[in-house]
Amino acid sequence: MRVGVIGAGVMGSGVAQALAQSGLSVVVVDIDQAKLEHTRAEIANQLRFRALFGSSEKVEAAEQIMGRIQFTTEHQMLADVNFVIENATENWEVKRGIYELIDDICREDCIFMINTSCISITKLAAVTSRASQVIGTHFMNPVPLKKTVEVIRGYYTSDECIRAVEELLGLMGKEMILVNDYPGFVSNRISHLFMNEAAFVVQDQVATAEEVDDIFKKCYGHAMGPLETADLIGLDTVVHSLHVLYESYQDPKFRCCPLLQKMVDAGLHGKKSGQGFYTY
């Protein structure tokens, strides 16, 4: 089995690593050659670290796992894959362009798995000629460590497609929770309200980012606070998602906090840029 991974950013990198670790052959496609090089080095590092410290059971050598991953800027390399897991930028125009392109390139029986925070699965499926084989797979970050995936059934997604995706996720050691398609699904429809309101709290000087996060961790027992989570996701991705939720529901409760927008405009994209609500 061969799996195509589109996008070599935060999520594409984790998805490619998780697939290769599970013995699958992977081709990673990104438009940015420098990003591909960075991701190749990043995955190799993660795998070396895992081999040294990760587990008491014997794990396969990093070099062997890396041998199963190809990196390319050519979408044409997706012609023979069984599944595409798309992790490109959270932007409608970007994703629409990709689906129009790969619908022509990929085999007819290839399944398209959309990794998106908020964009409607049904709407993206509609730009392809295979809506029954298009499904949402909202992976959690960091992908190799998270055991559960929020899977989204689009309007036309077939039961056969859902079963095939469940099997693939099973090979990756992951289980799924299946939900229906409305923008943001379950996880992000709720969590983006938390993260956005937490940013308003900091903007209004009610509390610092550390204090907001501590209330969630120490009082509610959450593993991470909303602003640490926003930094981990990427503030640019959070802002993109809020815009999608706002436009999709036409509901002002999703209006993006001006502080968040200002941070993104200033290049503070969270952990991946070295600076967000925290310094990395």
Catalytic residue check, 138:
yes
Is residue 30 near ligand NAD by the rule CB under 6 A?
yes
Please say whether the beta carbons of 188 and 120 come within 8 A: no
Query: Alpha-carbon distance 226 to 130, whole Å?
Result: 37
User: Would you give the binding string for ligand NAD spanning residues 206-245, x where CB under 6 A is met?
Assistant: ---------------------------xx--x--------
Binding part of the chain for ligand NAD, among 24-32, 121-129, 198-206, 256-264 by CB under 6 A, reads 24-32
Task: Annotate 80-106 with b (16+ C-beta within 10 A) or e (fewer).
Answer: ebbbbbbbbebbbeebeebbeebbebb
Query: Alpha-carbon distance 80 to 106, whole Å?
Result: 7
**Which residue in 3, 4, 5, 12 binds ligand NAD (CB under 6 A)?**
12
DSSP line for 55-75: -SS----HHHHHTTEEEES-G
Taking the mean position of all CA atoms in its chain, how far away is CA 43? 16
Is residue 22 near ligand NAD by the rule CB under 6 A?
no
Is residue 138 near ligand NAD by the rule CB under 6 A?
yes
Closest CA to 67 of 51, 47, 81, 85: 47
**Which residue in 1, 23, 32, 160 binds ligand NAD (CB under 6 A)?**
32
**Which residue in 24, 50, 90, 198 binds ligand NAD (CB under 6 A)?**
90
Instruction: Provide the annotated binding site for NAD(+).
Output: 7-12, 30, 90, 95, 117, 141, 272
Interface residues toward ligand NAD, by CB under 6 A = 6-12, 29-32, 35, 87-90, 94, 97-98, 115-117, 138-139, 141, 233-234, 237
